[in-house]
Homo-oligomer: A and B are copies of this chain.
Amino acid sequence: MALEHLFQGSALNAVDAKGRVSIPAFLRSVIERRGDARTITLAKHEAFPCLSAYDPAYAALKHVKLERLLEKEETSAAAQLEYQQRNLMAFAATEEVPYDSSGRIVLPPMMRRKGGIEGLALFLGTGETFQIWNPTLLLKDDRIPEDLKDIARFRLEERGL
């Protein structure tokens, strides 16, 4: 059930005019150890104003988790509806994008808008998945722990911003 390799660490990369970004190498290496795909799935995060990203292996796991939840629940109309909604979000509201030989993806315009991503993309590993933030939005969010904002500030400083 649990995935062996976990996403961790942080990085701040540039997004060019066409919306291309390099996925940090240390995240790519996790993806490639989990499976042999070279794609990531993007979705709007459920709680934060950022994007949630993961690899095909996790997408499969998520599907299994949802199925199991449905089987456990009593099959009330409410539970059925909840399942349908979550399933839609998990699959219809996502986009799968490949990364090229140099590790770059093109952020689909819709996702770019949903995540409020502009010229800089902050990558944050969160174990099974990782997040992509507009660093400015992260610094504004009062639900984010101060220690994590320090990291965002440090990454900005590193670039002389």
Contacts and interface: CB of A to CB of B under 8 A. Distances in A.
A71 B148 CA distance: 25
Copies held by the complex: 2
A91 B8 contact: yes
Interface residues of A, number: 52
Interface of A: 2, 4, 6-10, 26, 41, 44, 47-48, 59-60, 63-64, 66-67, 80-81, 84-85, 87-96, 109-110, 113-114, 124-128, 131, 143-145, 147-148, 150-151, 154-155, 158
13 contacts: A2-B64, A8-B91, A8-B92, A9-B96, A47-B84, A48-B84, A87-B127, A88-B144, A88-B148, A90-B127, A91-B125, A93-B148, A110-B154
